[in-house]
């Protein structure tokens, strides 16, 4: 992907400019890992301490500085005398081989749900044990974790939706390491979608689970602060090296797992850490780990921050394609999870509100939805399962026979920010769709409504 940038002397920097590259690796400076806006003179002084020139993203630059840069480029005028030259940077990166039908069609989520829940509990307990052992400087239980991830892979190969539910819902008793567990599930789902071999799925799953063990070596005040100053940011970034060192100390850890952990914070344009790798230099599985890490951090932010709707997280991820993440892999990940992942609250064109309970894998915009609120946003006494794909097929026949107008077809119009409708209990929908019969489900929601 070509990125339009201006090479500019740090002495010519202005507020509103978006610094996208430096004249040295980001890892040798305390600045943000994916670029940043120049907000004040102090940031310009900081840049002057480390750099002679930087690259400014023309299209992201705002205010009068942005207007000036775009005018210069539009006129074709040379600005070298002002320390500015326009450059287009193409980041070399070979396409990743993708095989979408490497595995059989998924089984219904309800068939795999019990096994998935059992495995999910084992993974959470295993991660609790891992964190406890790391904190006391004792060896990691590598082989047990490998075995449970192998079971996770087999479960996801049978039914991605069963584990997607467990990654999507934020339980009240979740632990600090739940991010790694959720991200590992997304990673295996992603890998299944593009047709990774089983051993690669296990490597990716294990690496995503263990990528953050080094954070136990980072001071709590650095981990927990929302806005880190440059010094704290440099300290925080050391967690990757700590994770690599901890895993490398165990001869049983697959070297590929260590490579994924080492590279998962690298960025497509070289703006990541610890080594400032770009494009093809970043291992493919590490690129995938980076994408799922971004997605889960957006939809399940640390601390008291409110999670955002999947569509917003996907939009943010899409905006970073070709910059922070390889464009092909971004598109494949979005296709893997769907625009409305399992567990997402959605509003239909009918005005009703429900929760996506299962995907239709050949028609991602037409999942199965459990409708919980009517068109007036009142809770239904008996929730209704609505299969959008089947409904569309019926609607097309009626439209062709003249018995329905095209605009009467029911579709998803938007997904809903978590918490927008407190009466929609996504966890209850999950548990009762996956683990209870239809009659029990109706009785459960009748009690809930009272």
Question: What is the per-residue pLDDT for 89?
Answer: 53
Question: What is the per-residue pLDDT for 176?
Answer: 53
Question: What is the per-residue pLDDT for 33?
Answer: 58
Question: What is the per-residue pLDDT for 303?
Answer: 63
Query: Pairing relation of β-strands 84-90 and 2-9?
Result: antiparallel
Question: What is the per-residue pLDDT for 3?
Answer: 52
Q: Which residues on adjacent β-strands are paired with residue 22? A: 54
Torsion of CA 393, 394, 395, 396, to 10 degrees: 50
Question: What is the per-residue pLDDT for 429?
Answer: 92
Question: What is the per-residue pLDDT for 42?
Answer: 77
Q: Which residues of 264-295 are buried (b: 16+ CB within 10 A; e: fewer)?
A: bbbbbbbbbbbbbbbbeebbbbbbbbbbbbbb
Tens of pLDDT, residues 325-378: 999 999 899 989 988 889 999 999 999 999 999 998 878 788 999 999 999 999
Tens of pLDDT, residues 184-217: 999 999 999 999 999 999 999 999 999 999 999 9
What does the alpha-carbon distance between residue 329 and residue 325 come to, in Å, rounded to a whole number? Answer: 7
Question: What is the per-residue pLDDT for 235?
Answer: 92
What does the alpha-carbon distance between residue 330 and residue 320 come to, in Å, rounded to a whole number? Answer: 9
Residues of the chain with pLDDT under 70: 1-3, 27-28, 32-34, 72-90, 169-177, 303-305, 437-450
């Amino acid at each position: 992907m070509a990125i339009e940038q201006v090479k500019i002397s740090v002495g010519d920097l202005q507020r509103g400019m978006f610094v996208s590259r430096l004249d040295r690796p980001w890892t040798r400076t305390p600045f943000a890992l994916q670029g940043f806006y120049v907000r004040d003179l102090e940031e310009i002084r900081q840049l002057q301490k480390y750099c002679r020139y930087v690259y400014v993203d023309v299209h992201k630059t705002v205010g009068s500085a942005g207007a000036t840069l775009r005018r210069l480029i539009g006129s074709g005028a040379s600005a070298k005398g002002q320390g500015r030259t326009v450059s287009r940077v193409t980041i070399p990166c070979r396409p990743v081989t993708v095989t979408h039908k490497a595995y059989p069609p998924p089984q219904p989520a309800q068939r795999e749900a019990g096994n998935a829940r059992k495995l999910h509990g084992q993974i959470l307990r295993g991660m609790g044990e891992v964190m406890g052992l790391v904190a006391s400087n004792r060896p990691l239980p590598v082989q047990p974790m490998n075995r449970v991830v192998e079971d996770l892979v087999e479960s996801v190969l049978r039914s991605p939706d069963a584990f997607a539910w467990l990654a999507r819902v934020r339980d009240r008793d979740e632990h600090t390491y739940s991010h790694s567990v959720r991200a590992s599930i997304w990673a295996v789902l992603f890998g299944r979608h593009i047709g990774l071999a089983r051993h690669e799925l296990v490597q990716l799953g294990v690496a995503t689970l263990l990528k953050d063990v080094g954070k136990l070596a980072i001071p709590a005040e650095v981990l927990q602060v929302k806005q880190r100053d440059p010094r704290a940011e440099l300290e925080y970034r050391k967690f990757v090296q700590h994770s690599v060192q901890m895993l490398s100390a165990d001869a049983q850890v697959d070297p590929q797992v260590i490579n994924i952990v080492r590279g998962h914070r690298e960025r497509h344009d070289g703006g990541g850490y610890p080594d400032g790798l770009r494009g093809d230099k970043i291992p493919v599985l590490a690129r995938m780990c980076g994408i799922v890490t971004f997605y889960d951090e957006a939809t399940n932010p640390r601390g008291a921050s409110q999670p955002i709707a999947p569509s917003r997280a996907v939009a943010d991820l899409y905006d970073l394609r070709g910059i922070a993440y390889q464009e092909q892999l971004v598109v494949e990940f979005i296709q893997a999870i769907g625009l409305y992942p399992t567990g997402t609250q959605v509003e239909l064109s009918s005005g009703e509100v429900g929760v996506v309970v299962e995907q239709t894998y050949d028609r991602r915009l037409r999942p199965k939805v459990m409708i919980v609120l009517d068109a007036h946003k009142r809770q239904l006494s008996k929730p209704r399962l609505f299969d959008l794909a089947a409904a569309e097929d019926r609607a097309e026949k009626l439209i062709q026979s003249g018995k329905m107008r095209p605009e009467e077809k029911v579709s998803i119009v938007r997904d809903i920010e978590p918490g927008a409708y407190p009466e929609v209990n996504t966890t209850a929908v999950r548990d009762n769709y996956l683990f209870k019969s239809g009659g029990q489900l109706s009785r459960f929601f009748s009690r809930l409504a009272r």
